[in-house]
Amino acid sequence: MAFKERLKEKRKEAGLSQAELATLVGVTSRTVQNYELGTRKPRNMEIVQSLAEALHTTADYLLGNTDRRIMAAYVRGGAKAAREVEELVNEISGLFAGGELDEAEKDAVMAALTRAYWDAKEENKKYAPKGGRRA
């Protein structure tokens, strides 16, 4: 289950409308709607924590392992890194369909791939031109 589904589930369990949840968290109702549609994700852990508190759950539950990695990528490398990690996770998730790995093993594979992504980013910095691109 993804963040958007967990958020909607917990909001309904709490008996809150999107507008009521937005007011409790300090965001717009459109933002909550976008979170539940999956077109946007919170940009920082403070918002996730506020959502969790308003819904009487934990940030870990709302994010799950996959979304936690994407959030960490956003914090570490910005929107582009978050998109790249999300694409990587989505592509690799297809390999697990109908497989024999349990959740802990899947999480270990995802963790290793995420580390490899960041290692590659760090290695590529060596070869980037200093001062940006030159015409």
Q: pLDDT per residue over 104-123, tens digit each?
A: 777 787 788 888 888 888 88
The residue length of the chain stands at: 135
The pLDDT of residue 98 is: 64
- Residue pair 106/96 in contact (Cβ under 8 Å)? The answer is yes
Of 78 and 93, the one with more pLDDT: 78
The pLDDT of residue 28 is: 96
> Cα-atom radius of gyration of the chain, to the nearest Å?
17
Tokens encoding 109: 């594979």
The pLDDT of residue 55 is: 96
The pLDDT of residue 68 is: 77
Confidence band (pLDDT; 50, 70, 90) for 99?
Answer: low
Tokens encoding 78: 């910005």
Distance CA 57, CA 64 (A): 12
pTM above 0.75, yes or no: no
Q: pLDDT per residue over 3-41, tens digit each?
A: 899 999 999 999 999 999 999 999 999 999 999 998 988
The pLDDT of residue 86 is: 79
Say whether domain 3-125 belongs to CATH 1.10.260.40. yes
The pLDDT of residue 11 is: 95
Confidence band (pLDDT; 50, 70, 90) for 135?
Answer: very low
- Per-residue burial over 83-105, b if 16 or more Cβ lie within 10 Å, else e, is eebbebbeeeeeeeeeeeeeeee
Tokens encoding 125: 């910095």
Q: What are phi and psi of 131, to 5 degrees?
A: 80, 15
- Angle, vertex CA 75, rays to CA 96 and CA 31, nearest 5: 85
